[in-house]
């Protein structure tokens, strides 16, 4: 099975947060078939810049941690944008980053 990690799941892993479930921890610790979107890295950077998120390490360390845990970074491609633009907007789901994922 392949796993696309949610932004919060990765941050919880990074910080050793108790919100990370045992199941999620075991999946990440197995270091197999893990993916993380470049969109999530943008979300983290934006939230840091606007003061909604604090992490106690340089943003550059996030990429290193992704490599260490064997998480592949998924790019955002032109075809992804084209597919997204064809989707019906869900009014009850306003987070633009979640919609991109």
pLDDT tens figures, 30-89: 999 999 999 999 999 999 999 999 988 888 888 888 998 899 999 988 887 787 777 777
What is the pTM assigned to this prediction? 0.81
The pLDDT, as a whole number, for residue 59 is 84
Q: Which two tokens stand for residue 66?
A: 């992704």
pLDDT at 100 over 70: no
The pLDDT, as a whole number, for residue 88 is 76
The pLDDT, as a whole number, for residue 94 is 67
**N residues, the chain:** 101
Rounded Cα gap, residues 9 and 25, in angstroms = 9
Closest CA to 16 of 73, 68, 55, 59: 55
- CA distance between the termini of the chain: 18
């Amino acid at each position: 099975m392949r796993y696309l990690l949610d932004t919060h799941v990765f941050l919880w892993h990074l910080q050793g947060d108790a919100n990370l479930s045992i199941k999620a921890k075991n999946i990440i610790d197995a270091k197999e078939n893990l993916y993380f979107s470049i969109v999530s890295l943008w979300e983290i950077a934006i939230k840091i810049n606007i003061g909604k998120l604090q992490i106690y390490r340089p943003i550059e360390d996030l990429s290193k941690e992704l490599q260490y845990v064997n998480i592949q970074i998924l790019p955002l491609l032109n075809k992804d944008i084209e597919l997204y633009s064809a989707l019906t907007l869900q009014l009850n789901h306003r987070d633009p980053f979640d919609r991109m994922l």
